[in-house]
């Protein structure tokens, strides 16, 4: 481990680098905790380039806690459409409703908000209130593990403790907001996962991973993320200019988003197998006018799942309807509902 003066040199080098290289982003011109909170939640699983427009649109429509709390959840989800990890939007909405119109001002209250963990609480409290809570996210793990040459797995209890303590020791108590933003930006732009810019790195002289040629191995992880395959057969039913959708419920992906009738199968099945399945038969009955596979073999990759999707089109006689589980809407009304990126892809392809 390095001594105090080396640690403070590392800090000032990072801050200097940040002041010269930081990106101008809309949430960097404010200390409003509400806006910092929204930006941090958006950026949790989203790249800045994608999150930027979502943040601007979201803040334009929901400029403060009161507006967000008063909104309808379906509308909040609609503004989140395409970002993925929809529990973030549901939690934001629930947390806004719990605030009684005022954003909390202590670390304990902030971390008690639904969907807020240690990282987000530290980001909000340091940036908005100048409190010296160090952030530890993927970027920070990467920078610290490489610079200090720490190979304790970041997903182990011991690793989490080591990195949390080190980050807290390193944070600049005088300017925690600046330091936290500097180390995260440094991880995002300079010390990147696959191609860190070591040649032009201000801390290269003290970087142990560079000296020991262990950059590729750090940060270390003990578990690989388990990915499961799922097989979705969507039935796009048309009848008299209308189609049918349903809100997803249960503890699963895309909760509370809308989608076409879905038949999920344990493995990929053929068109014939689908048409003769009891689920398909009970969904559309036998008096359909036509049925065809419209879009097949769509591979949609999420963080822990790969979805293999087929979209079928079934035309029914004009007045025909599905069971009460489904909402009958005009085709053009679909745009008003929050849907998954996968359904959006289908609609875009089906238009062209
Ligand atoms: S020298 Fe390379 S690995 Fe080390 S901190 Fe700089 S960019 Fe990261």
| Final residue before a domain boundary, out of 163, 191, 217 | 217
Which one of 19, 24, 40, 185 is the catalytic residue? Answer: 40
On whether residue 222 sits in a domain, the answer given is no
Nearest to 133 by CA among 124, 143, 142: 124
Label residue 1 by pLDDT band (50, 70, 90): low
Range with the poorest average pLDDT among 45-54, 75-84, 164-173, 278-287? 278-287
> Is 139 found in the same domain as 13?
yes
Q: Determine the 3-state secondary structure of 184 from DSSP.
A: helix
Label residue 303 by pLDDT band (50, 70, 90): confident
Distance CA 246, CA 244 (A): 7
Q: Kindly state the percentage of the chain with pLDDT values over 90.
A: 79
Rounded average pLDDT over 6-11 = 84
Around Cβ 66, how many Cβ atoms within 10 Å?
15
Whether pLDDT at 19 is above 70: yes
Query: Ligand 1: does its nearest atom lie under 6 Å from the Cβ of 78?
Result: no
Out of 143, 202, 211, mutate this one to test ligand 1's pocket (max ligand atoms within 8 Å of CB): namely 143
Domain that holds residue 275: 228-351
On whether residue 223 sits in a domain, the answer given is no
For residue 288, the model assigns a pLDDT of: 77
| Helical spans, DSSP H, in 205-340 | 208-212, 271-275, 278-284
Examine the residue annotation and report whether 333 is marked as an active-site residue of this protein: no
CATH number at residue 159: 1.10.340.30
> Is 66 found in the same domain as 41?
yes
For residue 352, the model assigns a pLDDT of: 61
| Final residue before a domain boundary, out of 217, 248, 272 | 217
Whether pLDDT at 225 is above 80: no
Label residue 278 by pLDDT band (50, 70, 90): confident
Q: Kindly state the percentage of the chain with pLDDT values over 70.
A: 99
Which atom of ligand 1 approaches the CA of 197 most closely? 7
Rounded average pLDDT over 271-291 = 87
**φ, ψ at 142 (rounded to 5°):** -65, -50
Average per-residue pLDDT for the chain: 93
Query: Ligand 1: does its nearest atom lie under 6 Å from the Cβ of 146?
Result: yes
Label residue 223 by pLDDT band (50, 70, 90): confident
Q: Determine the 3-state secondary structure of 228 from DSSP.
A: strand
| Final residue before a domain boundary, out of 217, 248, 277 | 217
Whether pLDDT at 248 is above 90: yes
Q: H or E segment at 61?
A: helix 48-61
- Pick the more confident residue, 225 or 345: 345
pTM of the model: 0.79
For residue 205, the model assigns a pLDDT of: 94
Give me the helix-helix angle, 157-170 and 138-147, nearest 10°: 80
Give me the helix-helix angle, 87-98 and 33-43, nearest 10°: 160
């Amino acid at each position: 481990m390095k001594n105090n003066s080396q640690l403070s040199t590392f800090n000032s080098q990072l801050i200097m680098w940040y002041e010269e290289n930081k990106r101008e982003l809309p949430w960097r011109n404010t200390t409003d905790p509400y806006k910092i909170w929204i930006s941090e939640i958006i950026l949790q699983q989203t790249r800045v380039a994608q999150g930027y427009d979502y943040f601007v649109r979201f803040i334009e429509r929901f400029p403060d806690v009161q507006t967000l709390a008063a909104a309808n959840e379906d509308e909040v989800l609609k503004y989140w459409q395409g970002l993925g990890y929809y529990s973030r939007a549901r939690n934001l909405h629930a947390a806004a409703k719990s605030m009684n119109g005022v954003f909390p001002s202590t670390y304990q209250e902030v971390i008690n908000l639904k969907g807020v963990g240690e990282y987000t609480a530290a980001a909000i409290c340091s940036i908005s209130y100048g409190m010296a809570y160090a952030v530890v996210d993927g970027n920070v793990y990467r920078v610290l593990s490489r610079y200090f040459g720490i190979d304790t797995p970041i997903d182990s209890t011991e690793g989490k403790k080591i990195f949390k303590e080190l980050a807290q020791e390193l944070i600049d108590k005088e300017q925690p907001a600046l330091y936290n933003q500097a180390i995260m930006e440094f991880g995002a732009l300079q010390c990147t996962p696959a191609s860190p810019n070591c040649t032009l790195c201000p801390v290269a002289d003290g970087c142990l991973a560079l000296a020991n040629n262990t950059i590729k191995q750090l940060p270390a992880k003990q578990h690989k993320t388990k990915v499961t395959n799922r097989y979705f057969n969507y039935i796009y039913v048309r009848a008299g200019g209308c189609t049918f959708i349903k809100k997803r419920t249960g503890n699963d992906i895309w909760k509370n988003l809308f989608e076409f009738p879905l038949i999920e199968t344990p493995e990929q099945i053929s068109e014939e197998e689908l048409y003769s399945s009891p689920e398909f038969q009970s969904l559309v009955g036998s008096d359909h006018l036509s049925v065809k596979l419209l879009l097949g073999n769509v591979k949609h990759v999420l963080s822990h799942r790969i979805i293999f999707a087929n979209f079928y089109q079934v035309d029914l006689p004009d007045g025909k309807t599905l069971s009460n589980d489904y909402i009958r809407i005009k085709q053009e009304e679909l745009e008003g509902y929050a849907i998954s990126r996968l359904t959006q892809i289908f609609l875009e392809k089906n238009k062209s």
